[in-house]
Amino acid sequence: MSQEIAVIGSPDFTAGFRLAGVRRFASISDEDKPAELDSAVEEMLTDDDVGIVVMHDEDLDHLSRQVRQEVETSVEPVLVTLGGTAGSGGLREQIKRAIGIDLMEEDQE
């Protein structure tokens, strides 16, 4: 079964992905994030057709502690954050969580 990419974020953030052909998205305005972001993320995490969820790094700050923990431990779908200051360490952890191994691990000889 083929899984889709989903995008969650502000209308400006999701617009580019929608133009690129992403069909699953949740556009949430900045003023609605405190009330709606948790439910949008939970909905995408429980959708069997979604394999990757993309969010802006700063939106993680708007999630409740419980939902943030679900996001950080989710293997399928995997959450990928863009922007912010996550840096390569954040991306490294996302890749490691998604495929189960650390591709950037240096050999200790």
Tens digit of pLDDT for each residue in 2-55? 889 999 999 999 998 999 899 999 999 999 999 999 999 999 999 999 999 999
Q: Residue 57: is its pLDDT beyond 70?
A: yes
Q: Which of 4, 43, 39 is nearest to 21 (CA)?
A: 4
pTM recorded for the entire structure? 0.74
